[in-house]
A and B are shown apart, each in its own frame.
Chain A
Amino acid sequence: MRAWKSFLRFGRDRWERFYRTPFGCLMHLFVGRMFHGGDEPGAEALGLGIGAVLSLLAMPGLLVSLLMFEKYGSLIRFLRGDGVFDPFTATIPDEYFFIVLSMTVTGAAALWRWDSIFLDRRDHTDLIPLPVSLGTVFSANFSAILILALLFTFVVNAASIVLVPVAIVGSQGSFAMFFRFAAGHAVAVLAASAFSFFAVFAIAGLLMFILPGSLFRRVSLFVRFAIAVALLCLLASVFTVPSLLLQTSVSIGHWLAILPPVSFLGVARTVWGKGNDPVVATMTHAATLAFELAILVAVITYALSFRRSFLRIPETADAGPLPRMRLAFSPLALLHNAILRQPSLRASYHFIVRTLLRSDAHLQVVSVFAALGLVAATESLMSIRTDQFFTIHHYPSADFLAIPFILSYCLIVGVRVAFEIPSDLRANWIFQLWLSPNDEQARPIARRVLLAAILPCLVPASFAATLFFFGWTSAMLHIAILTVSDLLLVEILLVKFRKIPFTCSYPPFESHSGVILIAYLFGFFVFTSYLPELERWSLADPVRAVYFVPVFAIAFTTVYSYRKQMLAMDKQLIFEERSPSAF
């Protein structure tokens, strides 16, 4: 015990001595800023501590690992009548899933910290005047990035490295098999995670090296959106790729091996003793090559972009003028004039839309939801049976009808969630000075923004597609039901809304926050499955559409009645999150 204490004291002393060196101090600073945000104007920290962030990252792996006990527990297998099984073959789909999960979570975490990885203007202003060499700054930041990569890689996979081997081969009674399985699983998920982090980092470094600073800021958001979509597609691939791997021939297997999660599955299988299989060898080779390439590109581009971007920060403007695209006749201007009659509505609406489109933090949130919607809508599109598309019915299938419902739900909820992210709270004096708290202007403003995010593009596109394939009746009914459903969704989401978006601090975590999350998920299910099914049923006989009228009328009346019975003080405009709000 005494030896342990003295060892701890020794470690602490060494750390404190290291922390007091310029390198240690800078590294500590950079690791901290990677968790607490960069230099983006107005970006407030999410208020999550490092512990909370790491717990969130570890959660998916932990939950899925616990499910493995149910799937592979000896009692469950006995009750199911499953006898002895070969874990190295039977678990290929699960192993693929774990690899995809660790890649997705780590990639998402790296995307989330994209802006904070590289040093920015604030760092330049604060650090360059100090008597610290550039080499120290460079190596401290690079070390901080490595620490972040190691931390993410370990935290995301810690639960599955421990629990998955126990759940799957814990009851097999062979230590050799257990360790072989555990080693294969650990190497594969850790390597996949690290690859994912460094791949995102390499892309960021490459863009930063190639593009001018102002262009990088604009392009990076689109690239992040594309990477997020790619990660979600990877996640969606768990339903198809494992079965393809088990069924397809060797030649197709070689092609599949290029897919990063498949290649890292090859690493696990090599450790499991299947390295002689030519497809597995190809997979492992591809994984090794991809891993090395990601790290190499990340290191080189980081070093080059450090020289190119960081050192030239004083020579570059923070941001150039925004591109001007003033049209003599703008249909949007007409729409705005029609829906924004009051000056306060007009001013607030433009403020919200501009902040949404220009703030990285807000756009990221909307992009994540848009990417989710895009992937879910693609899945729905892919599940339409082409052989039945035209021949059997003269009205659209539920999968076809669900596409705009999925997209609108994700976009509306995404924008609604983005409303909760503060912009620059100290600038609120502008609205406090000009908006009367008793005017109840928050909901009309937010409603217009939410509807403007979907109706002008989604409704015409859905109308055109339905009209093209199924004719006028289906198109008209589809658009009517979609529009009214969107209106209802917006009203529900804004039932307790009483602030100008972005002007309040983050809502506190309430005891019912979990319930709200479940409500959003349940809402997604109802909105994207139940409503399209009902709609399809009504399209089979358009007279049935009449049934929608009382249903929607009851729903709207319920929302308005609830709103009406609220106390006047609960409807007043607020600029600080003081009272709990459900939505």
Chain B
Amino acid sequence: MRAFWNYYFTINVVNLLASILIAIMNGFTWLPLSLCSFGLGIGLLAYYIFFKSQYYFYYNLGYTKMRLAIMVFACNTIIIMPFLLIYFILQLCTNYQ
């Protein structure tokens, strides 16, 4: 699992930068959405372009490219969803008042 976290953080550095850029252009709610979608796609693409050979580091440990991508997506979703939920609840409460 330690190896996975190394992949996870590398992917999410690019993901976070891309998602912040999208959030600046389109609004705060796009930040968590992008972290699980477009930003994540950019992160995966950047990793493939710049660190393609490093996939073998993970292959030898039993992680396929697909499994790595699904795990990153799942982790981001699990981490982000509660924040997004709280944000939407607060928004609802504010609008209701």
A and B: bona fide binding partners: no
Please give the residue numbers on chain A whose beta carbons come within 8 Å of chain B beta carbons, in ascending order: none
Please give the residue numbers on chain B whose beta carbons come within 8 Å of chain A beta carbons, in ascending order: none
